[in-house]
Chains A and B, each alone.
Chain A
Amino acid sequence: MTLANIWFFLVAFLLTGYVILDGFDLGVGVLYPFVARTEDEKRVARASIGPVWDGNEVWLITGAGAVFAAFPMVYAMTFSGFYLAIMLVLFGLILRAVSLEFRHRDTSWRKVWDGAFFLGSLVPSILVGCALGNVIRGVPMDLRGDYTGTFLQLLNPYSLLVAVTGLFLIVTHGAAWLALKSDGELHARALRCRRITFWVFAVLAVATSAATILTVSRASDNVFGRPLGWFFLVVLALALLYTIWQMTKEGGELQSFLGSAVIIIGLAGIAAVGNFPEIVPARGTPPETSLTIARTASGHLTLLVMLIIALIGCPIVLAYTALVYKTFWGKTKAADAEY
């Protein structure tokens, strides 16, 4: 295991952490206009993610920073190549952050902030999946490592399928969180939503798997040909069965939330194993234009210093993140909302 390979999986770890943690609060944002009807319910929905969403978003910032530092060429290609998509994600996240902080202080703009919260959650939830779809499928590039396709080429059917699948997974995950944190009507609606979106996700996931085997055989061959690939396939299968079992039971909210978190881990692991040792494969351009780990990794010293920083920083971050989740554990009440 070279340092660069370790960093490949560390980056995958950070981005998976992002999807699990920010995933549920993005999901709550997408569900917000559909399940939260009264002013109190809206307040509970926002307050359920209020203390934690900001920290959750840092996983993306750190993940992107880690890509920049460990694989500068990948960072440069994806961010400039997927330019408009990245900018839309950015605008979404900005509006969302501000709407969460401002809404309760600014009642006359309430509708504006509610709309911003929904859109700001929806757009990143879709586009992050779309970007992942393209990274699995591969994109055309030149030798310098610049994207040579067009914006519309990014919106190919495969990537859109991955995007919609991801959206439904995120919404399921968000509904599970909301069910965990709320009671009464809101709780009942969240449970109903979770059941529907989960089954839609399950059907889409089967379609995505079939599409991957048929059109991106490099990825599926990698997964089926490696023990680690089988490991994540088993994890995914068990997590799916566990989640279905818990959904049918009374009071399995925490279990099914953890279930969708493990589903995310399984899928992310499969995607990472499917691409290894490439990070972004070339599609339609010569194989030497592929952004592989070996070709794009930073120098030894950079990776080493960053590994030390990560080994010190990650446990501390995980510890105090757990502490804060524990502090705000339990059902959110309308009165707990913004001070």
Chain B
Amino acid sequence: MLSRIQFAFTVGYHFIFVPISIGVGMMVVLSERRYYKSGIPADKAASNFWIKLFTATFAIGVATGITMEFAFGANWANYSRFVGNIFGAPLAAEGLLAFFLESTFLGVLLFGRKKVSKRFYYVSAWLVWAGSLLSALWILIANSWMQTPAGYKIEGGKAVLTSFWAAAFNPSTAPRYFHTVASALLMGGFVVAGVCAWYMLKKRHLHFARQAMLWAISVGLVMAIAMPFLGHWGALVAAEHQPVKMAAFENVTETENGATLWLFGWLTKNDDGSYDTHGVGIPNGLSLILHLNPDARITGLNSVPAADRPPQQLVFQSYHLMIGLGVVFVLVLLLALVMHYLKRLENARWLLWILVACIPLALLAINMGWMAAEVGRQPWIVQGLMRTTDGVSPVVSTGEIWTTLGLFGLIYLILFVAWLRIFVGIIRKGPEDVVEMLEADRVGASAPAAAGR
């Protein structure tokens, strides 16, 4: 249980920074592309600004990512022995094919502005971002295999690979990958939109903010609208391969024809261990949406013993919070786009404040989505094959986990405070003043960079 808390905490923390990096990474590519084409200092300043936000976030993403890789062996030794044949390969491939790419060219982004050509620099921005997308792919391959294992056989108490393609592109890999990347881009869109909204509220860097705001809203809106479709795709796969998880999402207590789709609700426990839902729902909605037939049969939680069901309240609430926030995001972004075209966005202070508030809300939504997906799989660590309680390291003592959990808590708290100070500091400072940039360019490349200090 402690290992579970530690893993959930460290992965949840890691998952604050990763989506922001992927999302802001796209902004880096877009703004660097603009500078590559235009060559004007203001665009360079804009690009440098996003690179700063990106690298500050990326640093923590990398550092906390090492934790995740080490945690499998350290806290989950039995799990590692059981799945190493299959699960280890994507992690190794992630290192070789994605991390090297990201990390190596990140060095160019950080230190290469004056050392490499504009084209080299622009390509580096692409490579870093491509690396982060590839890295997400390998991780989701590994994680999706835990949800819907495929391409394996059990031999001598271990899962042994029988088909690489079947294991890598197991039924849930594609929908979960696109869903995750789209949500990371939406997250990035909200970070950018929130930063720009803040500048508009403070009436600073308006030229910069207008430009980036339009990009952010457009990308965000596309992603927010794509989200229900991608999520639906994932739900169809879950309904087919993980019916208990689907049933827990909507608290389908008993297998029935015509299950309800809940909009929101609260679960109360009955004496027999099942739960009742109190809330607002669409009768027959779940059957309709999953099978295009209002009377379709939906597998209920009673299809498995109570010990094989996930913690229901948590799963139900996180799932519905994610969806609810998703709907809010579509509305906010639509409204922002309309106001932008009416040229009234900059003066609509209430809407700008909502956009700022959407940064933490988007983080909440993305973490709720992850929680629903992972907790919904419980009590299994690999769906149907191994229970989470059987996956832990037999030799690691409770005391050791308490110690490291405490240290993680402390170090991660310090890092979070430091990151927030720096992130806000960069935003406060804003993209360099265009005049200062022009000055630096005129003095020439030999002068110490006035920019960025």
Q: Which residues on A are within 8 Å of B, measured CB to CB?
A: 47, 50-52, 54-55, 57-58, 60-73, 75-81, 83-84, 86-87, 90-91, 93-95, 97-98, 100-102, 105-106, 109, 144-148, 298-299, 301-302, 305-306, 309-310, 313-314, 317, 320-321, 324, 327-328, 334-336, 338-339
Contacts and interface: CB of A to CB of B under 8 A. Distances in A.
B287 to A, nearest CB: 41
Interface string B388-412: 0000011110001001100100010
Contacts of A324: 104-105, 107-108
Given A84-B400, A301-B164, A309-B92, 19 more contacts: A50-B107, A61-B99, A63-B95, A69-B87, A77-B77, A80-B395, A83-B393, A86-B73, A90-B70, A91-B407, A98-B418, A102-B59, A105-B56, A106-B418, A106-B421, A144-B394, A321-B100, A339-B48, A339-B449
20 contacts: A50-B110, A54-B104, A55-B103, A65-B94, A65-B96, A68-B69, A77-B77, A79-B74, A79-B80, A80-B394, A101-B55, A109-B418, A298-B161, A301-B163, A302-B85, A302-B86, A306-B93, A309-B89, A320-B101, A327-B120
A306 B87 CA distance: 12
Contacts of A299: 85, 155, 160-161
Contact of A51 (B108, B120, B395): B108
Contacts of A73: 81, 84
Interface of B is mostly: helix
B66 interface: yes
A93 B63 CA distance: 7
Interface string B56-94: 100110111111011011110110110111111101111
A242 B68 CA distance: 41
Interface stretch (B111-119, B189-197, B223-231, B334-342): B111-119
A102 B56 contact: yes
Nearest to A299: B160
Contacts of A97: 59, 62-63
Most B CB within 10 A of own CB, among A55, A93, A144, A336: A55
B386 interface: no
Contacts of B64: 94
B181 interface: no
Interface string B318-360: 0000000000000000000000000000000000000000000
Interface string B232-270: 000000000000000000000000000000000000000
Contact of B411 (A61, A66, A71, A91): A91
A73 B160 CA distance: 14
B279 interface: no
Given A86-B74, A148-B395, A339-B452, A66 B63 contact: no
Interface of A is mostly: helix
A61 B449 contact: no
List the 6 closest pairs (A to B, CB-CB), nearest first: A72-B84, A79-B73, A69-B88, A62-B95, A51-B107, A65-B92
Contact of B84 (A51, A62, A76): A76
Contacts of B60: 98
B381 interface: no
A102 B422 contact: yes
B70 A76 contact: no
B288 interface: no
B81 A72 contact: yes
A69 B84 contact: yes
A310 B234 CA distance: 32
Contacts of B403: 84
B415 interface: yes
B97 A309 contact: yes
Contacts of B100: 55, 58, 62, 313, 317, 320-321
Nearest to B104: A55
B250 to A, nearest CB: 36
A305 B166 CA distance: 13
B426 interface: yes
B97 A313 contact: yes
Contacts of A76: 73, 77-78, 80-81, 84, 393
B375 interface: no
Contacts of B72: 68, 75, 79
A317 B105 CA distance: 11
Contacts of A101: 55-56, 59
A339 B107 contact: no
A75 B79 CA distance: 11
A86 B403 CA distance: 13
A313 B48 CA distance: 30
Nearest to A298: B85
A83 B81 contact: no
A68 B92 CA distance: 8
A335 B449 contact: yes
Contacts of A91: 407, 411
Given A65-B88, A87-B74, A54 B95 contact: no
A73 B74 CA distance: 12
B65 to A, nearest CB: 8
Contact of A47 (B101, B103, B111, B400): B111
B161 A302 contact: yes
A94 B411 contact: yes
A174 B315 CA distance: 50
Given A302-B89, A306-B93, A317-B100, A106 B161 contact: no
B77 A106 contact: no
Contacts of B81: 72-73, 76, 145
A335 B448 contact: yes
Interface in B123-170: 155, 158, 160-164
Contact of B111 (A94, A147, A336): A336
B89 A61 contact: no
B160 A51 contact: no
Most A CB within 10 A of own CB, among B62, B70, B419, B426: B70
A305 B74 contact: no
A80 B74 CA distance: 4
Given A62-B92, A98-B59, A327-B115, A321 B418 contact: no
Nearest to A308: B164
B301 to A, nearest CB: 33
Contact of A305 (B69, B164, B448): B164
